[in-house]
Chain A
Amino acid sequence: MSLSQKNSTTESLPDERGHFGPYGGLFIAETLMAPIEELRLAYESLRVDPQFIKDLDWDLTHFVGRPSPVYHAERWSEAVGGAQLYLKREDLNHTGAHKINNTVGQALIARHMGKKRVIAETGAGQHGVAAATVAARFGMECVVYMGAEDIERQATNVYRMRLLGAEVIPVTSGSRTLKDALNEAMRDWVTNVDNTFYIIGTVAGPHPYPQMVRDFQTIIGREARQQMLDMTGKLPDALVACVGGGSNAIGLFHPFLDDKEVAIYGVEGGGEGIASGRHAAPLCAGRPGVLHGNRTYLVEDDHGQIIETHSVSAGLDYPGVGPEHAWLKDTGRVNYVAINDDEAVAAFHTLTRKEGIMPALESSHALAHAEKLAANMNKDQVVLVNLSGRGDKDMHTVAARDGIKL
């Protein structure tokens, strides 16, 4: 057994230096080369180590609560009036999102490598909470870097991390958001590399992170593929997931990539609309460049400077995207689209009222696109949406947009 499903299209990717076609790779300063190499070697051996896989499975079952169910959203499907809509319920995981699938995996690697201190970057705070959670679970020191701007927007998650014993360090450089938190975490890592493990939260960064995080998140798609076969007797006609860095999306998509009859949609944060320039949609409106250790699509200006992104959902508010998504865009296997803030918030309300499930604003982007797709499909067709997280954290944002002060 190994972590990633054997799969003819994707088995060979990335190559041994982390490339997905022209994307990915290892674009880091020489100072980071040794810790990255140490991690790569550790991961290469652990990903096929039966004991490691057993430990991971145990934690995923007993700590995270896997498998997460697939749910047929009948009332929502009826309201949309087309294809049947199914939800992969990653919102029901411990800590309320798919992020924990990955942090459990990386914490186990950290333990194997003898690292007693873990660091993480976070935007909305979901990955920070997931990292602080596993640090508490495994008895490790935890430091989370978070943009000063985001700390103000996400006070509850900051307090959750502190309750879990993590130190939350505000980042005041640059745009004071996720990308700057990532820069700062890298600086911490290069300075404290002897005892520190850097838990990256998405399928971006230098090799082996995009591969490693993908491998930990493909549990979503492996479960969902079997669950759909069990529930409907066939594969879904379409998959939909939101894409910020793209970890929940690649987790769902990857085990279906060879199922050519399954259409796949990745949904980026359209913000105030692509035309407004205020968005977080590098795949839809950006161009290839190099940031945070890998080559991928970026939201940048004509001079190669990274532009501040905009999205109602902090988890999508990132100027880059995982390199494997860049590759899947170019090959045409996955269709990447954007959903605006307003459309996502509307989908948030619809699902909450029709199904009694309050989705994260990130996932609401996927829901909004699924509605558009399903409306033009037949009633016997099936669309599977990754409900990557729950929406409790977003209540203040939604209330504020409705002009309500909580």
Chain B
Amino acid sequence: MNRIDTCFAELKKQGRTALIPYLMAGDPVPGVTVEVMHAMVKAGADVIELGVPFSDPMADGPVIQAACERALRRKTTMQDVFMVVKNFRATNQNTPIILMGYLNPVEAMGYLQFAQAAQQAGVDGVLTVDLPPEEGSELLSAFSDVDLAPIFLIAPTTTEERMQRICKASRGFIYYVSLKGVTGASMLDVASVTKKAAHIRSFTDLPVGVGFGIKNAETAAKVANVADAVVVGSAVVKLFSDNEALPKKIAPAVATLLRSMREAMDNN
């Protein structure tokens, strides 16, 4: 059984919602990433979304774009990302890791090579932002050979027909984008998220995670009421940029934010 499935099954038994923070590998300097990942788990993260830097992150807002630029300035490569996962796995065998990035670096490496290297490093799922299931058959079969879960987005504008297709192609969980726009945009509308989550659940038994626009403990708690997972991206990555000059401060700052979210979600 894939770590993601095990994790969600366990949370379901406990009646808790998963907290999924995002960070960019190699941001702002190599060496910080693994330390922050462990701090995230200690602060209550259940799954970690690890960003793979890309020069042209079209679907991301300014916060994550800047993180890509910081990581690429230090020449973070796909091999470096796998090394981060390997190092993390040295002391943590349980927390699922999902890579999130764009297709081109995966293509440059080769689908089969990427899938095998990811699996060997200890990656559990992959979200390739600019790859819709329609274009993905080759990559999906490479993933399925090594039990990597393909994660897909569903947007507020996604039609019912596409929703079904995406649910069918997905493993692990469904990532619902809670608002129109890019990552890090303004606050989300909890009522419409509630409705959409129910709609998605009518097509799949997979857990539904919600992300884009969750910035503080209060929103996290509200979303936790209706979702199986709360994904926090830009709000976490902003702490990397705030503390770029003193990277040692990043792990405690991230831990403080996540702990406040975890508490608010659990005390709902």
Contact = CB atoms under 8 A, between A and B. Distances in A.
Interface residues of A, number: 36
A29 B135 contact: no
Given A29-B58, A289-B108, A300-B108, A34 B69 contact: no
Most buried by A among B53, B104, B152, B181: B104
B198 interface: no
A174 B102 CA distance: 16
B7 interface: no
Contacts of B106: 304
A7 B129 CA distance: 36
B140 to A, nearest CB: 15
Given A30-B153, A179-B56, A173 B65 contact: yes
Contacts of B104: 289-291, 298, 300, 304-306
B56 A306 contact: yes
Interface residues of B, number: 43
A30 B77 contact: no
B55 interface: yes
Contact of A31 (B56, B135, B180): B180
A35 interface: yes
Main secondary structure of the interface of A (DSSP, over half): mixed
B177 A30 contact: yes
A25 B106 CA distance: 17
A187 B107 contact: no
A17 interface: yes
Contacts of B58: 28-29, 183, 186-187, 292-293
A302 interface: yes
A190 interface: yes
B162 interface: yes
Given A34-B158, A37-B159, 20 more contacts: A27-B131, A29-B58, A29-B130, A30-B162, A31-B155, A174-B56, A174-B69, A187-B61, A190-B180, A289-B108, A291-B56, A291-B104, A292-B56, A302-B108, A303-B105, A304-B54, A304-B104, A305-B104, A305-B105, A306-B55
Interface of B: 53-59, 61-62, 65-66, 69, 72, 77-78, 102-109, 129-132, 134-135, 152-155, 157-159, 162, 166, 177, 180-182, 185
